[in-house]
Structure 1
Amino acid sequence: MEKENESKIRHAETFKDQLTLRSIVLGAIGSVVITASSTYVALRMGALPWPTIFVAILSLTILKALGKTNINEINVTHTAMSAGGLVAGGLAFTIPGIWMVNPEAKVSFFTLVVVTLCGTVLGLIFTGLIRKHFIEGERLPFPMGIAASQTLIAGDEGGKKGRYLFSSLGFAAIFTALRDQFGVIPAALTSQTLFAKNIFFGAWLSPMAAGIGYIIGPLYMGTWFLGAVLSYFLIIPLGVSSGIFSSVDAATAFKNSMGIGLIVGSGVGV
């Protein structure tokens, strides 16, 4: 009965209650910040942990503090902020190709802004065109999106779910501060014995990575882990020792290219 009443209340919310001026302003500001920070992280790390869960919690916290909000307004705000991460991925993983082709190339700020806006608009158009097929027709699993929605619902409902959500957030924050700011916890567990044998395998100590593994599930996480084991225990050390690769860098480059090829090939095959 409570769920039915809650559903009726949410459906009773008008469009004006959901798409508010503050949701647009907060979403726009957050999107700019997330785009800048995510682009830096992507260029620095060569990978981009999508900030979907972070912006969901951020939107929830800010709007709850401002008062008189609802789950749909929070969803609008966090969706707008999340777009910044997608824009950052599009920039960080494509624009550097210009300098790969021509190291002397020069790209003006105005050109970069125009490319960014055009890419964003095209992304919105094509997303709208294929949404029905992939979201409603194929019903493909989107663990990150599902996790974001559950995060918003748990935070909005409060109670036991809310305590779990914000206590885990606090634990992750303390753990990361002890690791990165104070150096009390090592960033990764490694073995010099393995390194001496060209086996550069280690365990990154990260609450974020553990959370991602929980979200995507054991099958995909296990496949990811298996690929790492095959790469670092077989392909790289055996390839270098047998003379197939001239160096560890060459073996690593082959491993990276093969990984991208498998991802793209699997996507095309499906």
Structure 2
Amino acid sequence: MHKPYISPETKLNELTFRSIIIGALLSVVLGAANAYFGLFSGLTVSASIPAAVISMAILKAFKNSNILENNMVQTAASAGESLAAGVIFTIPALVIMGYWEEFNYIETTLISICGGVLGVLFTIPLRNALIVKEKLMFPEGVATAEVLKTGQTGGKSVKYLIYGSLIGGLFKLGTEALKLWGGVYEKAALVNQKAYLYFSLNLSPALVAVGYIVGLNIATLVFLGGVITWWVAMPAYLSFNGYAQVAAELVEAGKFVSVDGISPEALGGALWSAKMRYLGVGAMIVGGLWALISLKSALTTAFTSGVKAFKAGAQNVSETLRTELDTPMSWVLMGIGIMIVPVFFIYLTIIQDVPVTLFMALIMVLAGFLFSAVAGYMAGLVGSSNNPISGVTIATILSTALLLLLLMGSSDPSRGAAGAILVGAVVCCAAAIAGDNMQDLKAGYVLGATPRNQQVMQMIGVVAGALLIAPVLNLLLASKGIGNPTAEHPNPLAAPQATLMMSVATGIFGGKLPWTIISVGGGIGALIIIADQYLKKIGSNFRMPVLAVAVGLYLPFELDSSIFVGGVIAWMLDRSFKRNNISSESADRASNAGLLIASGLITGEALMGIMIALIATFGLDLELSDGTFGGSLLGPGLLFLILVYLYRSVVKASKDKL
């Protein structure tokens, strides 16, 4: 029998005015940070633990605060971070494809709120099924609960988050605003115009921190994807087609003005952008479909349990323990009905056909619940940060685009593609929120929180984050550019996931895509799945989730290599602890310190990036150099020192009590 940290009979202040205000503010801040970092790298990480640490630090100023109130704050705060992931994976595609000139405030906000609130509503019937009955692990939820428990007896670990944030922010300031050193170390060579050699490393400490958080297994697979694209497929393509033909293709694609004077580095970047990244598209499509097939039994369980919970109706409040009180099912059904209305009218402005729009709105609700169940179940198995949100979103956009093509034809491809992306946007927001919120509900289950109060705070976090996500995106669009390089913004935020979604949607409606390369990517995805099934059969600890490799296939090599460095550091620390027989308690303390430093590096860099973007909108120029100050070694040297600090701090934390 589960015994929560705070017994059901104990009543503490949970849903307080200050918890609502603090939670809403943190939702906006962490959501903005995650939006920036996701557009930069294509990856996001869960903010539940950093939110919990920040909450503890703030509420320490109030004498009558308690652990359940802290849990409410982190519940709202992490909702903003998750919502940002759902938004930046999809909605920027409308700007990149030229359908929108900027992020329309009303449409972006309503899509964000509706998708996020639906994600919360869909998790309500799943809480009892997946957390109480299935007893799934939800690793980040358990870790968050442990951090909050630690905060009851000291909470000194906030210093790691602060130090990491300061370091990440200062490094970003030196790289991007002051231009004291370059942000990427890159070398390439073209031997006899046939053999192509390439290496690059993004010097962002935040990217290394992502690799540290996800661990060596996932980081290795992301790097493997980069190796396949940049060290195998790209040299093979150049060798087979010849430099002259490839250069002519890139000129025709608008990547260069002429075939003369193309540097090896520029050649690699252009070839990746025009063709080779579509290996990742093919692998993502196969991976998304495989995610649905492999989760068939789990989906059936989650869906059946959810339907039973809906049919069961309201709980008898007087006979239900506080720790088992959910939002009434009648309210859930009413909320779903209300959320459909604004989504319907947004779809109608694009699709311009009432029956088709109604059909697509219903498809959105069914897909939203289905993929929220997928996200919730996967979060229980592997955590929110490793959740295959990209895969399920691609599956949604792919199927929606095919349906719209069948119903509307291909006479207006941009309208059809935009409709598919908006359906995918609602589903992606719902799935992202569902996975993260199930982690929060798991933390509440461990601590003894009231689920109904958490569900209210989740919606508060969603609404707070949604209200400011469009201005943040417009700020980044105006100051840095998103997706497409221009004369004003030659190095924009890459928005890899949104570009991927755009490629799928426009491709279905007749866009010029390299289908042969996409097919090869699908074949690579299939081979990875076969390898993973073999590893599963022999009971190997090393697994090969196809979506991790697909992300690596799609990302620029500089991101793959930086993430891999972080995974190697995590592995080195783990080996060190095992070699020195560090106790599990000490290892947990060290793991918590490392996680907070890594989270701080990500948060600090992202927030500084937004501040720099804000400064740029006022026309202020902080540049002190052209990026060559200190030569080519200053940036790598500073990154090395930061990694030494991370390593030594974690080792020290294993010896000292937090």
Task: Give the TM-score taking structure 2 as reference length.
Answer: 0.34
Question: How far apart in 2 are the matches of 1:40 and 1:140?
Answer: 31
Question: How far apart in 1 are the matches of 2:133 and 2:241?
Answer: 50
1:119-268 alignment, distance < 5 Å: 119-158=115-154, 162-163=155-156, 165-182=157-174, 187=183, 190-193=185-188, 197=196, 199-202=198-201, 204-206=203-205, 208-243=206-241, 247-261=271-285, 263-268=287-292
SS state at 2:241 partner: coil
Between structure 1 and structure 2, the one with the greater Rg is 2
Unaligned 5+ runs, structure 2: 250-270, 295-658
Native 8 Å contact 2:188 2:197 kept in 1: no
SS state at 1:11 partner: coil
2:81 corresponds in structure 1 to 85
Question: How far apart in 2 are the matches of 1:60 and 1:195?
Answer: 54
- Counterpart of 1:65, as a letter, is A
Structure 1: 4+ residue segments shifted above 6 A: none
Native 8 Å contact 1:179 1:186 kept in 2: no
Q: How far 1:110 sits from its partner (Å)?
A: 2.6
Native 8 Å contact 1:186 1:205 kept in 2: no
**Shift in CA distance, 204/252, structure 1 to aligned 2, threshold 3 Å:** farther
Q: How far 1:120 sits from its partner (Å)?
A: 2.0
1:88-103 alignment, distance < 5 Å: 88-99=84-95, 103=99
Is the counterpart of residue 269 in structure 1 residue 293 in structure 2?
Answer: yes
> Which stretch shifts more, 84-93 or 144-153?
144-153
Deviation by residue 1:102-153 (Cα, 9 ceiling, x = unmatched): 6257874233332222212211111223333443455555443344333333
Native 8 Å contact 1:18 1:72 kept in 2: yes
- Counterpart of 2:108, as a letter, is L
**Shift in CA distance, 132/13, structure 1 to aligned 2, threshold 3 Å:** closer
Unaligned 5+ runs, structure 1: none
Question: How far apart in 2 are the matches of 1:98 and 1:17?
Answer: 43
**Shift in CA distance, 199/149, structure 1 to aligned 2, threshold 3 Å:** farther
**Shift in CA distance, 264/132, structure 1 to aligned 2, threshold 3 Å:** farther
Native 8 Å contact 1:42 1:48 kept in 2: yes
Question: How far apart in 1 are the matches of 2:114 and 2:211?
Answer: 34
Question: How far apart in 1 are the matches of 2:291 and 2:50?
Answer: 27
Is the counterpart of residue 111 in structure 1 residue 135 in structure 2?
Answer: no
Q: How far 1:82 sits from its partner (Å)?
A: 0.7
> Which stretch shifts more, 192-201 or 111-120?
192-201
- Counterpart of 1:241, as a letter, is S
Native 8 Å contact 1:23 1:77 kept in 2: yes
Deviation by residue 1:174-194 (Cα, 9 ceiling, x = unmatched): 532452234588755x34146
Q: How far 1:253 sits from its partner (Å)?
A: 2.4
Count residues with an aligned counterpart: 258
Native 8 Å contact 2:24 2:76 kept in 1: yes
CA RMSD of aligned residues (A): 3.6
Question: How far apart in 1 are the matches of 2:48 and 2:54?
Answer: 10
Question: How far apart in 2 are the matches of 1:215 and 1:60?
Answer: 22
Q: How far 1:79 sits from its partner (Å)?
A: 0.7
Question: How far apart in 2 are the matches of 1:240 and 1:142?
Answer: 45
Alignment identity in percent?
Answer: 28
**Shift in CA distance, 61/254, structure 1 to aligned 2, threshold 3 Å:** same
Question: How far apart in 2 are the matches of 1:43 and 1:31?
Answer: 18
SS state at 1:202 partner: strand
Q: How far 1:205 sits from its partner (Å)?
A: 4.8
Question: How far apart in 1 are the matches of 2:96 and 2:202?
Answer: 31
1:70 corresponds in structure 2 to 66
**Shift in CA distance, 107/172, structure 1 to aligned 2, threshold 3 Å:** closer
Q: How far 1:93 sits from its partner (Å)?
A: 1.9
Native 8 Å contact 1:24 1:77 kept in 2: yes
